[in-house]
Amino acid sequence: MSILCNIETSSYINTRMKIIKLSAINSTNSFLKEMVSDSMVDDFTVVVAKKQTSGRGQMDTKWVSENGKNLIMSVFCKFSELFIAQQKFLNYAVSISVFEAVKNYKPPKLAIKWPNDILSEKDKIGGILIENSLKKDKIQSSVVGVGLNVNQEVFPVDLPNASSIKKKINKEVDLEEILNLVLQQLQLNIQLLRDKQYELLEEKYLRVLYKKNVPSMFKNSQNVLFMGKIVGISSEGKLQIELNDETIQEFGLKEVSFV
């Protein structure tokens, strides 16, 4: 694999976790997926990069991050009993982990915006891209990608709501420290998932969900504005919004946005 020449270090941070540090890569998710297809990967292998040349976000967007300033990482997780229908709990476990790690730095109004954006105030400081390998009705394994804006201070003008922890707390954050916090949290919450602690994961997620129970303006896929409040997540992982007439409607990822 030609990409292996970028490896800076490869070590174990504890008995369970192998960590590969790269100076540059196309995408840590793509790199790990390639390793998985070559069967080179143990459970909880972590890939961290200083820079991505083709970082990927949700819904075919790009994830751009200034070289060496932020956390760019992917983790490989194996599952034996996780059904595709339980995907939302994996999403909860990962979002909660990033949230809890960032919480240590006390950025203002930290929240998870459904499904898995990390916000401080109204600004996005982190995103998550989970790519699954499926067999029949189960998730066999996942590559969990996390992009967290840590010390970047300047963002492209076309991303007015992008920010970083440093911008929010006016202090530089140690990248190695926050990496370890995210990994500790991931080990904890992925274990909860493997232990089928679904109610606990849902409770943790809903407690910090952005605008939960707060009357808000939304836009549907036909660009129609409407008022409502988020009341929960359906069993299929859709956003449940209570409308003014007290009916509850469910929305998939492409079907609704905040205004």
**116 phi and psi, to 5 degrees?**
-155, 40
The answer to whether 96 and 204 are in contact (CB under 8 A) is yes
- The residues pairing with 127 across neighbouring beta strands, listed in sequence order, are 147
- Kindly tell me which of 126 and 228 has the beta carbon lying closer to ligand BTN: 126
Closest separation in Å from C-beta 68 to ligand BTN: 14
* Residue 238 DSSP symbol: P
The smaller minimum CB distance to ligand BTN, of residues 56 and 78, is found at 56
Q: Alpha-carbon distance 11 to 62, whole Å? A: 29
Q: Shortest gap between Cβ of 63 and ligand BTN (angstroms)? A: 4
x/- site string to ligand BTN, residues 19 to 58, per CB under 6 A?
--------xxx----------------------x--xxxx
* 240 in Cβ contact with 230 (< 8 Å): yes
Nearest approach, Cβ of residue 216 and ligand BTN (Å): 20
Distance CA 79, CA 194 (A): 7
Smallest distance, ligand BTN to C-beta of residue 161, A: 12
Q: How far is the CB of 122 from ligand BTN (least distance, A)?
A: 15
Among 145, 190, 209, 230, which residue sits at the site for ligand BTN (rule: CB under 6 A)?
145
Q: Which of residues 107-126 bind ligand BTN (CB under 6 A)?
A: 117
**Where does this chain touch ligand BTN (CB under 6 A) — which range of 67-75, 178-186, 204-212, 231-239?**
67-75
**What is the H or E stretch that residue 201 is in?**
helix 198-207
Is residue 18 within 8 Å of 46, Cβ to Cβ? yes
Pairing of strands 7-14, 17-25: antiparallel
Amino acid at 49: A
Quote the CA–CA distance of 41 and 94 in Å, as a whole number.
20
Give the number of other Cβ atoms within 10 Å of residue 70's Cβ. 28
Scanning 69-77, 86-94, 107-115, 161-169 for contacts with ligand BTN by CB under 6 A, the matching segment is 69-77
Based on CB atoms, which residue is closest to ligand BTN, 29 or 142?
Answer: 29
Q: Does 74 help bind ligand BTN (rule: CB under 6 A)?
A: yes
Count of residues touching ligand BTN (by CB under 6 A): 20
Query: In the bound complex, what is the minimum distance in angstroms from residue 175's beta carbon to ligand BTN?
Result: 14
Residue 168, Cβ neighbours under 10 Å: how many? 20
Closer residue to ligand BTN in complex, CB, 130/201: 130
Tokens of 133: 């390998």
By CB atoms closer than 10 A (0-12, 13-18, 19+), residue 222 is: exposed
37, 61, 67, 104: residue in contact with ligand BTN (rule CB under 6 A): 61
Would you tell me which residues interact with ligand BTN (CB under 6 A)? 27-29, 52, 55-58, 61, 63, 72-74, 117, 127-129, 145-147
